[in-house]
Chains A and B, each alone.
Chain A
Amino acid sequence: MKELNRKFFIFNIILIIVLGLTVKNDYYLSLITYIMINAVLASGLNILLGYAGIISLCQAAFFGIGAYLSGILTVHYSFSPLLTVLIGIVATFFVAFIIGYPALKLHGHYLAMATLGFGMIIYIFANELDMFTGGPSGLVGIPYFSIFGFEFDNEMKNFILFATIYLISLVFLELFDKSFISYDFRFIRESEHASSAFGINFKKEKVLLFAVIAAYSSMIGSFYAFYSQFISPSSIGINYSIEILAMAIIGGLGTTYGGIVGAVIISLIPEVFASFEDYEIIIYGGILAFCIIFFPYGIVGFFKRLKIAKN
């Protein structure tokens, strides 16, 4: 087993502490929080796509299931926030399991289309079930996240909450990368037949991984709903799924930090090009196409290869 990359952890912890102490502007704090949310989602997709070769265009839908469940249960039925997060995780795990079981028999284009179709169904239901979801105008009045009477009611507290989640997922990401499970998945990606000949139950492992990542996305979705106190169909649509995919690919598939690097870059685009709001979507597409044509291994993958070539 390889050693864990301690430098990167320490770098991240220091960076977050420094940012937390120096950034006093609420807007910039919320921007960093969004980047961390995206980074966790993109890293999840990176594990699915980069290690196991499972393409999923419905990560935003799983994110949305968590967000909407938490929102609906707290707004209409006054559940306690922590309980709704757990309900979201369990519910999404089962939904992803039920969808994943038949879907993961498909590959490539077929799987992409199946997950895209599932994402569309969730999006349409979020729009149409307006009794619960508030329809296209969204669900308002979601309370802040609170645990044992402690309420996360300002930017700083939420920043600390999301930073904790982010750092914990970094640890899991590293542990996953260095564990034998990740080698199993790489083996499955290369050849399902060969891996099954070696005694790996690839169907079970793929479906489980899919469901675990979905549940994880759902958890982030729940926290996001409490954080922004509002959720609308437009934030869980196909475009967001494609954005997450773009983050994972631009960062570099199959690299531990690809999702994070991609999330930082993609999330900063609207800030950098604030005056070209209409061009934003073209810029996403352009960067994505450019990256696939010229940096097929993503940014992290490119530097990794450069390093290997030097040695």
Chain B
Amino acid sequence: MQFLYSGLTTGSIYTLVAIGFNIIYNTTGIINFAQGEFVMLGGMFIYTALHFLNFPIYISFIVALISAFILGMIAERIFFNSIKIKTEINLITITLALAIILRGASMIIWGRDSLKVDPYITEKTVAMPGGVLTTSSLLVIVVSIVVAIILSFFFKFTKYGKAFRACHNDPYAASNCGINVNKIKMLSFAIAATIGCIAGILITPITFVTYNDGIMTGLKGFSAAIFGGLGRFSGAIVGGYFLAIAESFFASILPSGYKDAFAFIILLIILFALPNGILGKKKAERV
């Protein structure tokens, strides 16, 4: 049973990353390969605010989130808005370029070592049927579920949420209805960066953070998003938890080094067999 509980913690993180992918995909149709880098940066920001600038804990959260929000906006303006020829290949490459730049910059700023942040709440273990869960893990699970629920309400029921979705369906019609498509696109990157930052803040006390963590986190978040069906929030939750629980189950029976390979094998199987994901209903990408 213990693998189930450790799966829940990482699953929450995958879910948040997957939601980040979905937000950008739903408004712009882009897969942001740099999404994992925002998670890494979340950890870096909270480390800087807490241990370098010595801010109190709540201020640190706010500072980290605002920095991620602004960074997301800047990234969209510089990297995506300025592309003249928006072919798929160009969009993929520019997100890869963004990921490389963010990774390189954080290597220079924060160095190559793992950085550690103290737990935000006092560390205790909670006995669960068949295993234990730490309070830090519990915090991760609760916060990510709350974020997921708030976001899905935001996108489903509020006026702004509808504007976001309209942009993806038909940008021209959306702008005719008075939606500022340009601004919405920028906001979607900013919100996705903030969600990534939340994931980074949550996970840093548990796993620490290194400058090149982003690739793995990003790919696994994408696997989770694909698993549940790209663009669907409920899919992100299902995919995130399924992937993480399966992964920690396999880690308990196989040498742990293969754990990551397992996630990608799932990714390939899902892409080949069900490119819409298990909850997806949109038109398939395959021809």
Provide the bound-state CA to CA distance between A128 and B222, in Å: 23
Contact of A117 among B89, B219, B286 (CB under 8 A): B219
Provide the bound-state CA to CA distance between A192 and B83, in Å: 26
Q: Chain B's nearest CB lies how many Å from the CB of A301? A: 11
Closest to A280 in B: B104
Given A110-B271, A114-B268, are A278 and B107 also a contact pair (CB < 8 Å)?
A: yes
23 contacts between A and B (CB under 8 A): A55-B89, A105-B286, A106-B271, A106-B285, A113-B222, A113-B267, A116-B219, A120-B260, A120-B264, A121-B261, A128-B255, A128-B257, A245-B93, A245-B96, A278-B107, A279-B108, A281-B104, A282-B101, A282-B104, A285-B97, A285-B104, A286-B101, A289-B98
Question: In the complex the two chains form, is B94's CB within 8 Å of A289's CB?
Answer: yes
Provide the bound-state CA to CA distance between A93 and B56, in Å: 58
Provide the bound-state CA to CA distance between A260 and B271, in Å: 33
> Cβ of A284: which chain B residues have Cβ within 8 Å of it?
100, 104
> Cβ of A109: which chain B residues have Cβ within 8 Å of it?
30-31, 88, 92
Question: In the complex the two chains form, is A107's CB within 8 Å of B287's CB?
Answer: yes
Q: Chain A's nearest CB lies how many Å from the CB of B164? A: 19
Question: In the complex the two chains form, is B84's CB within 8 Å of A289's CB?
Answer: no
Q: Is B180 part of the contact surface with A, judged by Cβ < 8 Å?
A: no
Q: Chain A's nearest CB lies how many Å from the CB of B27? A: 15
Q: Is A141 part of the contact surface with B, judged by Cβ < 8 Å?
A: no
3 residue pairs, one from A and one from B, having the closest CB atoms = A285-B100, A281-B104, A282-B104
Q: Is A264 part of the contact surface with B, judged by Cβ < 8 Å?
A: no
> Cβ of A106: which chain B residues have Cβ within 8 Å of it?
271-272, 275, 285-286
Q: Which of B156-210 contact A (CB under 8 A)?
A: none
Provide the bound-state CA to CA distance between A288 and B100, in Å: 10
Q: Is B126 part of the contact surface with A, judged by Cβ < 8 Å?
A: no
Given A125-B261, A278-B107, A288-B100, are A107 and B83 also a contact pair (CB < 8 Å)?
A: no
Question: In the complex the two chains form, is B97's CB within 8 Å of A289's CB?
Answer: yes
Provide the bound-state CA to CA distance between A106 and B88, in Å: 13
Q: Chain B's nearest CB lies how many Å from the CB of A288? A: 4
Given A245-B96, A289-B98, A296-B85, are A124 and B261 also a contact pair (CB < 8 Å)?
A: yes
Given A49-B89, A127-B257, A292-B90, are A102 and B215 also a contact pair (CB < 8 Å)?
A: no
Known: A117-B219, A288-B100, A293-B82. 11 other contacts (CB 8 A): A55-B89, A103-B272, A105-B286, A106-B271, A112-B33, A113-B267, A125-B261, A192-B287, A286-B97, A289-B94, A289-B101
Closest to A283 in B: B104
Given A107-B286, A121-B261, are A296 and B84 also a contact pair (CB < 8 Å)?
A: yes
Contact of A193 among B82, B100, B258, B287 (CB under 8 A): B287
Q: Which of A229-270 contact B (CB under 8 A)?
A: 238, 242, 245-246, 249, 253
> Cβ of B1: which chain A residues have Cβ within 8 Å of it?
none
Question: In the complex the two chains form, is B104's CB within 8 Å of A279's CB?
Answer: yes
Provide the bound-state CA to CA distance between A103 and B218, in Å: 20
Which residues from chain A sit less than 8 Å from chain B, CB to CB?
A: 49, 53, 55, 99, 102-103, 105-110, 112-114, 116-118, 120-121, 124-125, 127-128, 192-193, 238, 242, 245-246, 249, 253, 278-282, 284-286, 288-289, 292-293, 296
Provide the bound-state CA to CA distance between A136 and B48, in Å: 31
Question: In the complex the two chains form, is A113's CB within 8 Å of B107's CB?
Answer: no
Q: Is B149 part of the contact surface with A, judged by Cβ < 8 Å?
A: no
Q: Chain B's nearest CB lies how many Å from the CB of A188? A: 11
Q: Is B265 part of the contact surface with A, judged by Cβ < 8 Å?
A: yes
Provide the bound-state CA to CA distance between A125 and B255, in Å: 12
Chain A interface mostly: helix
Question: In the complex the two chains form, is B261's CB within 8 Å of A128's CB?
Answer: yes
Question: In the complex the two chains form, is B271's CB within 8 Å of A124's CB?
Answer: no
> Cβ of A117: which chain B residues have Cβ within 8 Å of it?
219, 223, 264, 267-268, 271
Q: Is B79 part of the contact surface with A, judged by Cβ < 8 Å?
A: yes
Provide the bound-state CA to CA distance between A192 and B285, in Å: 13
Provide the bound-state CA to CA distance between A99 and B96, in Å: 23
Question: In the complex the two chains form, is A118's CB within 8 Å of B268's CB?
Answer: yes
Q: Which residue among A113, A124, A193 has the maximum number of chain B CB atoms within 10 Å of its CB?
A: A113
Provide the bound-state CA to CA distance between A58 and B78, in Å: 28
Q: Is B117 part of the contact surface with A, judged by Cβ < 8 Å?
A: no
> Cβ of A288: which chain B residues have Cβ within 8 Å of it?
93-94, 96-97, 100
Q: Is B17 part of the contact surface with A, judged by Cβ < 8 Å?
A: no
Provide the bound-state CA to CA distance between A285 and B82, in Å: 16
Question: In the complex the two chains form, is A108's CB within 8 Å of B285's CB?
Answer: yes
Q: Chain A's nearest CB lies how many Å from the CB of B269? A: 9
Closest to B101 in A: A285
Given A108-B92, A288-B97, are A102 and B260 also a contact pair (CB < 8 Å)?
A: no
Provide the bound-state CA to CA distance between A109 and B222, in Å: 11
Q: Chain A's nearest CB lies how many Å from the CB of B286? A: 5
Provide the bound-state CA to CA distance between A281 and B85, in Å: 25
Question: In the complex the two chains form, is A55's CB within 8 Å of B92's CB?
Answer: yes
Q: Is B232 part of the contact surface with A, judged by Cβ < 8 Å?
A: no
Q: Chain A's nearest CB lies how many Å from the CB of B94? A: 5
Question: In the complex the two chains form, is B261's CB within 8 Å of A114's CB?
Answer: no
Provide the bound-state CA to CA distance between A108 and B108, in Å: 32
Provide the bound-state CA to CA distance between A238 and B78, in Å: 24
Closest to A113 in B: B222
Provide the bound-state CA to CA distance between A119 and B268, in Å: 11
Provide the bound-state CA to CA distance between A125 and B88, in Å: 30
